[in-house]
Homo-oligomer: A and B are copies of this chain.
Amino acid sequence: MRIGVLGSGAMGAKLGTIFARAGHQVVFSYSRSDEKLKSLARRAKADARAGSPREAAGCDAVLLAVNWPQVDDVLHQAHDLAGKVLLTCAVPMNEDNTELVIGRTSSGAEELVKKTRGARVVSAFGTVPSEALYGVFRRRTHSPRPSLVYCGDDEAAKRVARGLIHDAGFDPVDVGPLRIARYTEPCALLVAQVAYEGGRPPEVAYRFERFPEEE
C-alpha cells in the first residue's frame, strides 16, 4: 500500500518508518526542512521517499500527524482529501499543549471530516506516545501484544487502519463510530500523563484484559 504521511514530528517520523519497514511505500511530507524529509526517507532503509503534502495526499492512505494548530495549513497544502482514507493521530490541543480545544460535543476527528469535505477519517495511533512505537514494533512477534483503539464511520477505511495497526505491532481494538473519538482523544492525554508525569521512561502502551468473575 502507498501511505502518505503529513507531518514529520516524532509520530509521523516513527509511524512512517514503521509502515515502510512493514513493507509499504511511504511518502514523508510537511516539514520546514526538505533535508529532514529526505533524511527520514533514507534512514527508514526501506521503500520511502520525501514528497509534497499534495503527493502524500495522493497515496492510498494518508496519516495526519501534525500538531492541531497546523491542521488547517497542512490540509490546505494537501489540497484535496475528500473521499480519502485519512488516519489521524492529531489530538486537538491548544498552542500551549495544555488543554483540548475540542471535546465532549465533538472531537478533532469529527471536525476533520468537515474540514476535508468528506475524508473517510479513522482515529488511530493517538492513544500511545511516540516513544513507545519502536519498542512495540520491535516486539511484534511477542504475545500478548498491547492494544490500540481505533474508531471511524467507514468500514473499508477501518479495515485499512486495522491492518496498519497490526503491522505496527499492536492488537487493534475497534471501539465503534467516529464520535467515540470524543473519548479516545481525552484518553490520549491520560496516557500522556502516565507516560510523562510518573517520573519513569515514557515508553507506555496499554492492554485491555478480561477478568471473568467465574473461571
Contacts and interface: CB of A to CB of B under 8 A. Distances in A.
Interface of A: 99-100, 102-105, 131-132, 134-136, 138-139, 146-147, 149, 173-176, 180, 182-187, 189-191, 193-194, 197-198, 200-201, 203-213
A169 to B, nearest CB: 9
Q: Is the interface of A mostly helix, strand, loop or mixed?
A: mixed
Contacts of A211: 132, 135-136, 139, 146, 203-205
| Number of identical protomers | 2
B212 A201 contact: yes
A66 to B, nearest CB: 21
Contacts of A209: 146, 204-207
Contacts of A204: 208-211
B149 A174 contact: no
Contacts of A134: 213
Contact of A190 (B135, B187, B210): B187
